[in-house]
């Protein structure tokens, strides 16, 4: 799928708003978005037309290779992410193929990434809401969190903070997730996949 080189990219970190959720596994999308914001050198601000916090900037090397991006964190709670994302897509005139969702992924081991375009939602409520709102043809940066241990329910697992062992690697992995997003936007899906899909 080709993308318009001049169109902006909409990079969406998926998560739940509020301090009680901030360190949950379900909020790795917000964590990566926050790191990307610090790299751009700006702060998120509430958007007037969408229930989201946004930051506009550029990613990549200076000059023609850099890409205009809108970083976003929907403030609607995970299950309703599609509404804010669609409103931002329409406001900034972003092709669906230029949208990237960063999200936690149960079916991938912790510390592993998969980048892809399109596909199903795999039971992820944030993706389910986005796909219902605008179809499946957007990019995903899937941040592996692994399966819950024993008989723990999935909902309990994703809404818990990372374990002490996981936290030892978390900063490195969030950094790697941000690198993967930048590579996807500036180098294209195939090159980013070859570097970050493991």
Among positive and negative, which fits the CA dihedral 76, 81, 83, 88? positive
Q: Which two tokens stand for residue 111?
A: 């510390």
**By C-alpha distance, which of 113, 122, 119, 115 is closest to 137?**
119
Q: Do 124 and 108 form a contact (C-beta atoms < 8 A)?
A: no
Angle at 168 between CA 125 and CA 196, to 5 degrees: 60
- Residue length of the chain: 198
Q: Which residues are catalytic?
A: 26
Asked whether 77 and 125 are in contact (CB, 8 A), the reply is: no
Q: CA-CA distance, 38 to 175, in Å (whole number)?
A: 11
- Whether 195 and 183 have beta carbons less than 8 Å apart is answered as yes
Nearest Cα residue to 139 out of 93, 84, 100: 100
């Amino acid at each position: 799928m080709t993308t318009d080189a001049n169109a902006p990219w909409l990079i969406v970190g998926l998560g739940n708003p509020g301090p009680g959720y901030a360190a949950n596994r379900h909020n790795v999308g917000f964590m990566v978005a926050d790191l990307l914001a610090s790299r751009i050198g700006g702060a998120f601000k509430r958007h007037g037309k969408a229930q989201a916090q946004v930051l506009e900037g550029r990613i990549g090397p200076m000059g023609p290779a850099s890409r205009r991006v809108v970083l976003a964190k929907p403030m609607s709670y995970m299950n309703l992410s599609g509404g804010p994302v669609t409103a931002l897509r329409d406001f900034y005139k972003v092709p669906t193929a230029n949208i990237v969702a960063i999200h936690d992924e149960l079916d991938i081991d912790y510390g592993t990434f998969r980048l892809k375009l399109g596909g199903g939602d795999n039971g992820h409520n944030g993706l389910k809401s986005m796909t219902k709102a605008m179809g499946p043809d957007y990019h995903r940066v899937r941040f592996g969190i692994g399966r819950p241990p024993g008989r723990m329910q999935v909902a309990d697992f994703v809404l818990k903070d990372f374990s002490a062992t996981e936290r030892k690697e978390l900063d490195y992995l969030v950094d790697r997730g941000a690198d993967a997003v930048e590579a996807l936007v500036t180098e294209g899906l195939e090159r980013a996949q070859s570097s970050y899909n493991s």
